[in-house]
Chains A and B, each alone.
Chain A
């Protein structure tokens, strides 16, 4: 339903999006994860016809965003990460304005206004001015606005950003409801756990490139069996990393230097205790051995780009070996 082919967007010498290939199937909720500045908003803006790509193509349905933007606009409901509302308009008038802009008939506007306000729990606010609503209510109204013309595709850029925990949960429930309605949803966030709950697939974007893409089941299954451990030693961290990399329950060494090694551990607590004993027996002077709350997206990134991480660790180890020989 949403496809991009080698999509690129360049601002001067900076690549905001690099050769992005995305394929979001119809009826799925696709989570687009990446830290701030990774290129999420740029990608979504291109898909929403707000921006032209430097090269590559992007499609919503069969319509290409650069050659048939009018068709794309009719197919999508777009909610930017930050958006304003008009003063001196009631909630009902606000929705009616966008409904009319999309050519929805007056009778249908009335019917949908009722349905959507009910869906986002704003039916009691129908005659209030939109600028008098709280941020969370405005976000929910924004989502209702996206649905006024009943588009098959929704593009939501960090819909829960800036909301309090309660509003975030409400927003999440509403988006889950959209899946039941058969909508294709492309939703961005920089918080993976938030998306894991409501998405079918997740793609991770880093420095403008899609570095990982998998179904939520794969992500959670792979992430759940692992814990991120930080081991600090007085010296010999690089050599210890080499030992750890060969250990049965260490699935991956994430980072290492002379005093600290971060790793993914797949064993139980008993296995963990045995590992500490093994390291001590091998002569490493352990300072700390602790589980760190690495975020899910970092973990996901490492799990889905093992080759890259392995290359990095190998080069770090090779560098240290060369240094020792010298």
Chain B
């Protein structure tokens, strides 16, 4: 019975009309083709220049450690792309429907608010996932020269997908709760900025206070929490634990990130659990609040159904 229910659900998702419509519309847009081409071109050019500078035109000079550097560099570029592009795509998914005056009609169909929100979530991240998948052949250059194995690439991609999902959830949250896409976009970028830059600054300040305060333990813990909730540091933590810390990044921002990871032991289980709790749990909570907000009485109906089911 459970298997049938799951099969039915999966079948519905495969045949989800909103998902098909959204994907069809997105892929028909000329901007999509342009964005995909531009992104591939930029990543390709960056990869080429990075390699060229490192080997001075002599491919045989490329060493496995250098390809690990290239991978680290590309992965940070991709994280930056995720943090910039995701709010732009996801912050208008519901408010845009409201502004185009298509939401009212959508809400009178039997599509549940949950299915609408999850479909919007999936379609928001699908474009970014496509970008990530498209760059895999570029990443495979690093496999050619050794130094990185596919499981390491997948681990970093996994972390980026969790981050992507969280940013999409935050953007959908603002898009559902605020009426205007303009405001939703501003708040989405502000939230992402707070997590990426705000937490880094807060961590840095806490570190400085800890160095001059008798209460070092508390401030050290605060800075550790700030860093462990920041995807930039957690990606460095993951890459450091995979053995990617490299001499090429000495004197750079990335090397300072890696040194913070080591000094705060961000590879610890506690750091990873707090990161995953916040990003996965927080995303789920935000999406549930969107479902509640999208159509009034959704949970009233569910509560009544549950009560009826219990009484039966």
Contacts and interface: CB of A to CB of B under 8 A. Distances in A.
Given A66-B297, A101-B18, A50 B101 contact: no
A83 B102 contact: yes
Contacts of A76: 108
B108 A73 contact: yes
From B17, B18, B109, name the one whose CB has the most chain A CB atoms within 10 angstroms: B109
Contacts of A249: none
Interface range on chain A: under 10, 10 to 19, 20 to 34, or 35 or more? 20 to 34
A80 B101 contact: yes
A60 B12 CA distance: 27
A291 B69 CA distance: 90
Interface residues of B, number: 25
B108 A50 contact: yes
B107 interface: yes
A87 B32 CA distance: 14
B110 A84 contact: no
B101 A100 contact: no
A95 to B, nearest CB: 11
B293 to A, nearest CB: 13
Contact of A50 (B18, B29, B104, B111): B104
A69 B301 contact: yes
Interface string A65-89: 0111110011010111011111111
A49 interface: yes
Interface string B91-108: 000000000111011011
Contacts, number: 78
B21 A78 contact: no
A137 interface: no
Contacts of A140: none
Contacts of A145: 105
Nearest to A48: B108
A101 B17 contact: yes
A44 to B, nearest CB: 11
B17 A82 contact: no
A306 to B, nearest CB: 39
B104 A83 contact: yes
Contacts of B301: 66-70
A86 B24 CA distance: 11
Contacts of B20: 97, 100
11 contacts: A49-B108, A69-B301, A70-B301, A78-B108, A83-B104, A83-B105, A86-B21, A88-B25, A89-B25, A98-B109, A100-B17
Interface of A: 48-52, 66-70, 73-74, 76, 78-80, 82-89, 93, 97-98, 100-103, 142, 145
Interface of B: 15, 17-18, 20-21, 24-25, 28-29, 100-102, 104-105, 107-111, 295-297, 300-301, 304
Given A78-B104, A97-B21, A100-B20, 12 more contacts: A49-B108, A50-B104, A50-B107, A66-B297, A67-B301, A69-B301, A73-B108, A79-B105, A85-B100, A98-B17, A102-B110, A142-B105
